[in-house]
Chains A and B, each alone.
Chain A
């Protein structure tokens, strides 16, 4: 009896994985995006779709460079309090594209999910909370900041994708940033344990962001 139950669960998981694998190309249609956030979203979204199509077969390094460049050029930096009238707001990539603006987390999330869409492995990407010194090496002004890091190898020095600086640099050249903590979309949970913990999991901000994107249809 229990064996049968396990068999069914594993079959179901396989099906879910297959679905997820096929997801890469299927994204939100322009009509759906327009319906959600108005016509202004299409300004950036159509270009983003083309970018994704264009980069499909490129190497990870090219993808990282192009995606970083795309968002640093098309979004302009704006604090949450101005943009969303909230102290701290985690926007989805589509929301950021509809406003054409975002703060440091929004840049990092947009880049992270685009790279994931392009097939970059999850283990190579981390969102990193950093303490950033602003205004030159002698400055004492610091602020909380977030960047996306790309690890070509798990033990390698990462490349830092920042919203403040348009070009990508190795971490060793970013003495203005002091890393504090990191996480990725691996989820907090290990080993398919998401089902029983679903309700308490929803309390985390990361999970809330994922849920919002699922509602948009951006990811499944």
Chain B
């Protein structure tokens, strides 16, 4: 049996109350009216009978006179019948109006019968009995009156019922709205979005909402406290106090992770050295030197200038590095940066200061050692030159597709139209070696080659075709999932820049909705660095996919770490922690504590946690011991 909802019960109560009140007042009204009419009819009959009997008696009960009197009374009056009976009860004179008087429906007469008992009065002729007169009033007009009354009362009762029903439905509607708000909040909490709602006016609903809000607020406070603690720990472990730049350990981890990624992005690495910093320190004094270094660091931290994913680090006292996307950073811009930093240093230390700078591109297959030795050599050259120009290490690597933006746009459009893509797969495994899902980055067909995302994605972003590429990748993943029920899941990497496209969220939701079955094994992820500047758009994406079975996650989590304080608002399903923390994690006590904290906080709000960039067995087992649900990277096959 279907259970009746509270709203239905309230509705039922309102309807029942209105119907009962209406029916009750109608019935009471009709019964009163009927009673009154019956009495009026009876009194009329009795008075007429007595008057006639008196008149006939006064005329010595003369038959002709009696008949005349009865005729006169009957013809002018409102009677059904008048009968003069002799003492034995035989009718002497009888007038009967058999036709009756219509106006009220027959069924109404049957439901509300008017009983009109005839009235009787004695007739005498002198001392002798002369029988009696029986009078019965005509009930027809009383029926008409009763019927009209019933119609009028029904009309007003119906109007009153409608008014009461409307008022009731407004009340029920209000309760329903308030209930739904609380229900939505509860649902959001189960989906790990800790939101507060405005408290309704009614005391019951108000208290409920207040209690829920208080709980949410407490959870948020706990969460924020924990997040702040973790953020502080990360800062201490991985950042330089003076410049707020990353430290050497962190930078090396990140560089290793970047080089270990399946698609090495087109990135450049800049190495900078401030000459004779120790002498400068002695000359300027420590506070002024620190201020100079802090300002130096602030220039390098400008993510708008170097890209969302850029990383600047202080390697040791005088050495600084900057990892940036090539699309943001060509040779002119490097030279510009050199001049700007020189000006900054000169303003503190005068013209004597030397800033040597070398730059190189990261290439597929590079190891950290390759990159660093290349840069060191170039830097030595720059130092030898007195730091006057930026040395470029290794020269330009061969760029297979040095095409114009227009050409790229055409190429990408063609590829989307002809579906000239494929997905390659990389395993994400759990602690038992089982397959959690497979990461499936996109490859673009170019002649006989398959280009990795790092080569076409920057151009796709610049030509505003990235959303179309992402949708194509999701569509392809859904098709493959539908065709392969054994596949535990496919992870598709969405570019955060797609969020800048206004139609993207709706199109993505529609795409997923059309393949509900397969979508339960679809994992969609975006990089933290891209999500943070587009936080509201990302929230809209999460809300749009909330009711759909696919999973949503954040990858490269921890590079910037501004997101952890807001995770509880989003309703996402998993995190992929950036590979920067992973290299030699088994020996790094500080990062172990930090990652353990991240796992705890994520698990507390129901998120799964995966580590990226895992290269060795030791790293993997340490990470699982810290609480990670899965690992991926070059060491995971």
Contact = CB atoms under 8 A, between A and B. Distances in A.
- A-B complex is real: yes
Given A158-B127, A188-B46, A193 B115 contact: yes
Interface string B64-86: 00000000000000000000000
A151 interface: yes
Nearest to A159: B127
A5 to B, nearest CB: 11
B134 interface: yes
A182 B124 contact: yes
Interface in B5-57: 35, 38-40, 42-43, 46, 49-50, 53-54, 57
Interface string B119-144: 11110101111000010000000000
B87 interface: yes
A199 B35 CA distance: 10
A191 B38 contact: no
A197 B38 contact: yes
A190 B121 CA distance: 10
A147 to B, nearest CB: 10
A83 interface: no
A155 B128 contact: yes
Given A181-B57, A201-B42, A189 B126 contact: no
A160 B126 CA distance: 13
Nearest to B44: A200
B127 A200 contact: no
B11 to A, nearest CB: 33
Contacts of A199: 39
A189 B119 contact: yes
A189 B127 contact: no
Interface residues of A, number: 33
B565 interface: no
Interface string A166-177: 000001101000
Contacts of A171: 126-127
A179 B127 contact: yes
B129 A188 contact: no
A155 B90 CA distance: 13
Contact of A200 (B43, B57, B134): B43
A190 B122 contact: no
Contacts of B128: 155, 157-158
B122 A193 contact: no
Nearest to B123: A182
A190 B134 contact: yes
Contacts of B115: 193, 196
Given A157-B128, A182-B124, A183-B121, A188 B38 contact: no
B39 A200 contact: yes
A144 B379 CA distance: 150
A106 B248 CA distance: 132
B88 interface: yes
Sort chain B's interface into a size bin: 20 to 34
A132 to B, nearest CB: 14
A145 interface: no
Contacts of B587: none
B372 interface: no
B87 A181 contact: no
A34 interface: no
B54 A193 contact: no
Given A126-B122, A196-B38, A149 B127 contact: yes
A154 B39 contact: no
Given A180-B58, A181-B53, A200-B42, A188 B127 contact: no
B452 interface: no
Contact of B49 (A180, A184, A188, A197): A188
A128 interface: yes
A36 to B, nearest CB: 31
B127 A183 contact: no
A31 interface: no
B425 to A, nearest CB: 80
Contact of A190 (B120, B126, B129): B120
A184 B120 contact: no
A63 B598 CA distance: 119
Nearest to B129: A154
Interface in A20-79: none
B87 A190 contact: no
A188 B88 contact: no
Contacts of A154: 87-88, 129
Contacts of B121: 183, 188
B122 A184 contact: yes
B127 to A, nearest CB: 4
A186 interface: yes
Contacts of A194: 117
A191 B89 CA distance: 13
Given A190-B134, A196-B42, A179 B124 contact: yes
B634 interface: no
A181 B42 contact: no
B119 A190 contact: yes
Contacts of A174: 127
Nearest to B126: A179
A47 B508 CA distance: 114
Nearest to A123: B87
A189 B120 contact: yes
Contacts of A179: 57, 124, 126-127
Contacts of A201: 42
B96 to A, nearest CB: 16
A165 to B, nearest CB: 15
Nearest to A189: B117
Contact of B122 (A157, A172, A183): A183
A111 to B, nearest CB: 17
B118 interface: yes
Contacts of A183: 121-122
A157 B127 contact: yes
A172 B53 CA distance: 22
Interface of A: 126, 128, 149, 151, 154-155, 157-158, 160, 171-172, 174, 179-184, 186, 188-194, 196-197, 199-201, 203-204
19 contacts: A126-B129, A155-B128, A157-B127, A157-B128, A160-B127, A180-B57, A181-B54, A181-B57, A182-B122, A184-B122, A186-B122, A188-B50, A189-B119, A189-B120, A190-B120, A190-B134, A193-B115, A196-B117, A203-B43
Q: Which 10 A-B pairs have the closest CB atoms?
A: A193-B117, A171-B127, A154-B87, A197-B42, A200-B39, A190-B120, A200-B43, A182-B122, A188-B46, A182-B124
Given A179-B126, A188-B119, A189-B46, 17 more contacts: A128-B124, A174-B127, A179-B127, A182-B57, A182-B129, A186-B120, A192-B117, A193-B42, A193-B117, A193-B118, A194-B117, A196-B38, A196-B39, A197-B42, A197-B117, A200-B43, A203-B43
Interface of B: 35, 38-40, 42-43, 46, 49-50, 53-54, 57-58, 87-88, 115, 117-122, 124, 126-129, 134
